[in-house]
Chain A
Amino acid sequence: MERQEIMRRFAEAAGNPLSYARAWKERTGRKVIGSFPMNFPGELAHAAGALPMILQETDDPITAGHGVLFPFYCGFTRSMVDQAMRGEFDVLDAIMFGDHCVQLLGAADGIRMHLTKTRVIFFQLISSMCDPWTQGRSEESFAKLRAELEDFIGEAVADDAMHASIRLFNRNRALIRKLYDMRKKGTAPLGAIEMQHVVKSSMIMDKAEHTDLLQQLVAQFEGAKATPNRAVRLHLSGHFCQAPKPELLEMIEECGVVVVGDDLYHGFRYISTDVPEEGPPVSALARWYMDRNTGVPCPTRVQNNVDWDAYLLDAIRDERADGMIVLMAKFCEPHMYYYPEVKEAFEKAGVPHLLIETEHEGMALESLKTRVETFVEIVKRREAA
């Protein structure tokens, strides 16, 4: 398949996840299980024969959801509740909720109260990542999740099926990581929106279908020569539960920027770490959960021996990036609390960065463009000086 056609399929699923789910359900007659970001192992629902999909924020203005969540909740949680209230989640047979932050917990409660017919699977993951009991507690959580899932589908999920799902998901992640590597080297000149479509569609589409398309896409860049690019090389950081709006990414690139790396959830954070393929699958998932926080540290987790800021400075060195743009979703508390540390570390290291606060309700793009252009001018002039 041609690159354009593959990208079109990815963009279509990324742009309208629930339509994809409806079509898949009609085609297969199987169950669709939606989940909240960022720590659910889709492998479990996949092994149970369902379509696991990570629920996505939409661009629609919040209407019905206003009655459930205060406007000072982040855009992702407000959009989740709003979609639920408007009946958009009817296609979902079950929703898996977690509580990686207080706002997510509020959204889960709001949805739970309104979608009385949808099965809700709720579980908590330990947020302290380096205690002697972290692995054990994580295993307990994943075992409970597996039991709930089995109860929901009415049959046991075999270890073999879980191993097969783990292998498929690992393959999918490895292919996307390969694309990241190629982009860094310049052999796969994928724009920021294209990269988002690749990752976001992986959160939505049937994993086997997605992996097959990915394989074809990667093959097209294999052996390609690096295309020289004179634009300013930047790393994009932040944005956890929601994908940055494509128009924002487009605007950033229009300012003479090439994005060479990211740690966005709708980016490298999602595919950074594989699940061990050996041993009991539940222990492997617990290991994955813990390893992910060393792969790309997350400010919603607590781990004394990893620093997100140190990770970012390393990533920037490795990507030969000239600086970083931080995309912070308005009212995202975990990010707001951690950002001062990133700011301090970057200022100390003399690496330029620009903070952009994003909003569900839309942004004054023209004014933001002036800020990004100024940032690009600063980076260029500093290099020239």
Chain B
Amino acid sequence: MNRHVMGVDFGSTTAKTVILDLSGNIVAHSVAHMGAVSGDGVKQSMKDALEEAGLAQSDMGRVVATGYGRRMLDEADKNYTEITCHARGAVAMVPGARLVIDIGGQDSKVISVDSNGLVAQFAMNDRCAAGTGKFLEVLARAVEIGLEELGDTALQAREKLKISSMCATFAETEVISLLAEGHPKTDVLGAVHAAIAMRTLGLVGRVGKKGPVVMTGGVAKNPAAVHYIQQALEMPLILPKTPQIAGALGAALIGLDDYRAENKHLFISEHEDMAREEQMAADKACIPGCRGVPELAVDPFEKQPPKGKLKSLLGTIQNHI
């Protein structure tokens, strides 16, 4: 039986891979940036994660894909949508979370999660790039500023401006005219982030506002986006350390569930493992309790009565005697 599973998030601009051991611990993860959805980027991300873990693809018991390109990954045994996987990953990162806001390159989604960690409702941008990483990218270009500096610059905004258009192309026209009116880049970018926050608030309204709220996706790394969304929501956002890998983690966890369910007979808990070892040692010993040094042998049946089923079985035998 293989001892690891893999989750791959084949996104629109980045590919993410997470490798888990069978206890659900992250063994390795990687993020590869691509121009657009590309098979090479995904392969790179998988290769990086495998190298970090010191494993080969053949060591993976299950591979689950998610993201836009989820159906294109040959190595995947199954694929699930990014909504299911992000919810699962985010709740694993922040146990108890009831709302997940995920803003990625091409889409933004808000997922409400029930007390069992299952998706209850979801809403996503289904028409255009409004409120997504792409929206920020287009407007950063209009302001002639690098994506990395975008958030910090926007946080310096002083005057409240308004961008009312949700369409990235029309918003770009608004940004240009605000700049032409002489408003500083900081204020204009503040308005851009406020617009994203309002759009997110709209999605939250569709599934119902509740907390704790966790934010994932690439845009969670942008401090201005986080600031404005918190302000609009009037609630704090919990940010996991690696918000980008939530989808890949969720995919890996779902893969782990499936793999465990399929190989149930091969999985034994630590407790069962110990009990089984003791039983085997007891079976092999010629003196009860001997583990190779007969003089130190302690009769386990007298001093350390075995637990659980074994105990009751022995009890039954003793009663019979």
Contacts and interface: CB of A to CB of B under 8 A. Distances in A.
Contact of B118 (A370, A371, A381): A381
B284 to A, nearest CB: 41
Contact of B124 (A370, A373, A382): A370
B84 interface: yes
A368 B81 CA distance: 11
A367 interface: yes
B126 A374 contact: no
Nearest to A369: B81
Given A385-B116, A385-B118, A378 B84 contact: yes
B258 to A, nearest CB: 10
B126 A368 contact: yes
A364 B127 contact: yes
B118 A374 contact: no
B83 A370 contact: yes
A377 interface: yes
Given A364-B127, A367-B124, A367-B126, A374 B107 contact: no
A371 B107 CA distance: 12
B119 A378 contact: yes
Most chain-B Cβ atoms within 10 A of its Cβ — which of A373, A374, A385?
A374
Interface residues of B, number: 13
Helix, strand, loop or mixed for chain A's interface?
A: helix
Given A367-B107, A382-B118, A385-B118, A374 B127 contact: no
A374 B83 contact: yes
Nearest to A357: B126
Nearest to B119: A378
Contact of B126 (A364, A373, A382, A385): A364
B80 interface: yes
B124 A377 contact: no
B99 to A, nearest CB: 16
Contact of A378 (B107, B118, B124): B118
A332 B107 CA distance: 27
Interface in A355-385: 364, 367-368, 370-371, 373-374, 377-378, 381-382, 385
Interface string B103-120: 000010000000010110
Nearest to A363: B126
Contacts of A364: 126-127
Given A364-B127, A367-B107, A374 B122 contact: yes
Contact of B81 (A374, A382, A385): A374
A377 B80 CA distance: 8
A74 B185 CA distance: 42
B102 interface: no
Nearest to B206: A355
A377 B81 contact: yes
B82 interface: yes
Contacts of B107: 367
Contacts of B124: 367, 370-371
Contacts of B126: 364, 367-368, 371
A370 B126 CA distance: 10
B252 to A, nearest CB: 16
Interface in B55-93: 80-84
A272 to B, nearest CB: 31
A226 to B, nearest CB: 28
B107 to A, nearest CB: 7
Contacts of A374: 81, 83-84, 119, 122
Contacts of B116: 385
Interface of A: 364, 367-368, 370-371, 373-374, 377-378, 381-382, 385
24 contacts: A364-B126, A364-B127, A367-B107, A367-B124, A367-B126, A368-B126, A370-B82, A370-B83, A371-B83, A371-B124, A371-B126, A373-B80, A374-B83, A374-B84, A374-B119, A374-B122, A377-B84, A378-B84, A378-B118, A381-B84, A381-B118, A381-B119, A382-B118, A385-B116
Given A370-B82, A373-B80, A378-B84, 14 more contacts: A364-B126, A367-B126, A368-B126, A370-B83, A370-B124, A371-B83, A371-B124, A371-B126, A374-B119, A374-B122, A377-B84, A378-B118, A378-B119, A381-B84
